[in-house]
Amino acid sequence: MGLFTRRSQDTVTAAPVAALPVDPALAALTGDYVIDPAHSSIGFTVRHAMVTNVRGTFADHEGGLHLDGADPGRSTASIDVKIASVDTGIADRDGHLRGGDFFDAEAFPLMSFRSTGAAQLGGDAYRITGDLTIKDVTRPLSIDLEFNGSATDVYGNERVGFEGSAEILRSDWGLTWNAALETGGVMVSDKVKLTFDISAIKQA
């Protein structure tokens, strides 16, 4: 019942686990959910100039989950992120990221993820595998997530929460711009950490 793990060049395959007993409370969460962008965050961290990290988020995104609490392997997830919503807190840097050196947001406005499989690893740990598309390049991504629980909010909405992270090499998706440093190394690391903090609302 996961959502979006660390990624290597090949898809990470979950180790076989014994069938876990069905938790009635978890089974009751089965249904379709819409990600609440106002209470969710999709972010990234990348090393800059070899000495520090730059962090950013994508503010504009939408997606949905189908959770199967009785059989987590049948859960699915999808999400679309508008590249133009990238925000690192520096307008000039955000403009560079939107431009042709990086995402080329005008030609490729969306980054998308579509799940192809899911597994419960034990306890509140889940793994979801799928396809991540950036700039019309689609490659496999596997994400380990933690289920943070469920609650009914003050408006009567039933919510579930997940958080997790993944590491990718941006060059695998054609994001290759860089600049050499006089002291050695490069301006922007190839390795990028993706982070996900998801709140989703159950649909009637």
% of the chain surpassing 70 pLDDT: 89
Q: Which residue has the tokens 């396809």?
A: 131
Quick check: 16 pLDDT over 60? no
Per-residue pLDDT of 121-134, as tens digits, reads 988 999 999 999 99
What average pLDDT does this structure show over 24-28?
87
- Rounded to an integer, the average pLDDT of 92-118 is 97
Query: CB of 159 within 8 A of CB of 86?
Result: no
Using pLDDT thresholds of 50, 70 and 90, give the confidence band for residue 29.
very high
Of all residues in the chain, what percent carry a pLDDT higher than 90?
Answer: 80
Using an 8 Å Cβ cutoff, are 77 and 115 in contact? yes
CA distance 159 to 161: 7
More confidently predicted of 1 and 123: 123
What pLDDT is recorded for position 42? 97
Query: Distance between CA atoms of 15 and 174, rounded to whole angstroms?
Result: 30
pLDDT in tens, 143-154: 999 999 999 999
Q: CB pairs under 8 A, 24+ apart, for 146-154?
A: 147/1, 147/2, 148/124, 150/29
Residue 21 has a pLDDT of: 65
From first CA to last CA, the distance across the chain in angstroms is: 19
Dist. CA 17–CA 108, nearest whole Å: 39
User: How does the average pLDDT of the chain come out, rounded?
Assistant: 90
Give CA–CA dist 151/131, Å, rounded. 30
pLDDT in tens, 152-185: 999 999 999 999 999 999 999 999 999 999 988 9
- 126 contacts 119 by C-beta, under 8 angstroms: yes
Q: Cα separation of 142 and 118, whole Å?
A: 9
The pTM of the full predicted model, rounded to 2 decimals, is: 0.85
**SS3 category, 92:** helix
CB 145 within 8 A of CB 128: yes
Per-residue pLDDT at 24 exceeds 70: yes
Residue located via tokens 């993820």: 113
- pLDDT value at residue 10: 42
How confident is the model over 72-83, as pLDDT tens digits? 999 999 999 999
